[in-house]
């Protein structure tokens, strides 16, 4: 049997995409709308009290109006957050459009040999339990590695995959300081194999990195992609503006 990469797994992740039912939201009285917005903001602020991290973005285009991304220690907490949201007044005016369940993942493709427990290494911990940045823009998409005839990632030897991931890592590193990536594994958890969440203060950098990586063998030959969703950072003020009629 071929050798599976050993993964380090961090916080569980939920990407929750919603659209606003504008037609019914517009019919609500100003008072009720303001109360629902206030309650929603209190919910978002409460999210910051628990161990984990959160990101909140408006989504451009018709795929969704906003994304709530939450990282938590357990799957139960992700369910609790979903239920808590469902009980808010604002939830009655949203339509779920997409969601993604995964877990922050690091592989051992590029790890050096060492006897230490990686879960105790502060650099590893910072990546497994990341604080999501307040970057201006987000880009999320799920992806798979191809299993198709001669292009089957899972039939490649560990050495070959390591070599290919090395090249991927080199391109990635050239975007240091411009893009922060969170790779979440979802084999057995959701419909694709990984979720890719990119954060940047320049949306154009998403196009640049994804385009450049398409020419690299890992993506060119083995990458298969789901839908791309991009958006703008939301804070309380912007959310109030978004929901005001």
Provide DSSP, 140-178. Answer: EEEEEE-EETTEEGGGS-HHHHHHHHHHHHHHHHTTTTT
CB of 221 to ligand VOV, least distance (A): 11
Asked whether 59 and 17 are in contact (CB, 8 A), the reply is yes
Asked whether 81 and 72 are in contact (CB, 8 A), the reply is yes
- Which region among 32-40, 95-103, 112-120, 163-171 touches ligand VOV (by CB under 6 A)? 163-171
- List the one residue from 3, 173, 188, 245 that touches ligand VOV (CB under 6 A): 173
What are 56's two structure tokens? 């909140």
Interface residues for ligand VOV in 85-144 (CB under 6 A)? 106-107, 109-110, 143
Taking Cα atoms as reference points, which of 12, 183, 44, 214 lies closest to residue 109?
183
141 is catalytic: yes
- List the one residue from 168, 203, 224, 236 that touches ligand VOV (CB under 6 A): 168
Q: Which of 12, 98, 100, 141 is catalytic?
A: 141
- List the one residue from 44, 203, 213, 239 that touches ligand VOV (CB under 6 A): 213
181 is in an annotated binding site: yes
Q: Which residues of 34-46 are buried (b: 16+ CB within 10 A; e: fewer)?
A: eebbeebbebbee
Interface residues toward ligand VOV, by CB under 6 A: 5, 106-107, 109-110, 143, 145, 165, 168-169, 172-173, 175, 179, 181, 183, 194, 196, 198, 209-210, 213, 219, 223
> What amino acid positions are annotated as catalytic residues?
141
């Amino acid at each position: 049997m071929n050798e599976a990469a050993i993964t380090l797994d961090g916080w569980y992740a939920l990407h929750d995409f919603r659209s606003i039912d504008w037609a019914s939201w517009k019919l609500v009285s100003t008072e009720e709308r303001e109360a629902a917005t206030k309650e929603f903001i209190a919910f978002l602020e409460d999210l910051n009290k628990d161990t984990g991290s959160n990101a909140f973005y408006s989504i451009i285009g018709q795929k969704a109006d906003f994304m709530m991304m939450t990282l938590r220690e357990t799957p139960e907490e992700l369910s609790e957050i979903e239920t808590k949201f469902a009980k808010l007044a604002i939830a009655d005016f949203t339509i779920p459009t997409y969601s993604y369940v995964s877990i922050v993942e690091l592989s051992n493709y590029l790890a050096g040999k060492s006897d230490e427990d990686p879960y105790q290494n502060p650099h590893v911990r910072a990546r497994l339990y990341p604080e999501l940045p307040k970057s201006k823009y987000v880009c999320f998409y799920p992806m798979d590695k191809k299993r198709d005839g001669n292009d089957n990632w899972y039939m490649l030897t560990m050495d070959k995959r390591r070599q290919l991931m090395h090249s991927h890592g080199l391109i990635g590193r050239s975007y240091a300081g411009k893009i922060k990536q969170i790779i979440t594994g979802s084999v057995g958890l959701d419909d694709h194999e990984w979720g890719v969440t990119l954060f940047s203060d320049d949306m154009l950098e998403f196009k640049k990195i994804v385009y450049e990586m398409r020419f690299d063998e890992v993506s060119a030959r083995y990458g298969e992609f789901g839908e791309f969703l991009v958006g703008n950072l939301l804070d309380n003020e912007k959310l109030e503006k978004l929901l005001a009629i």
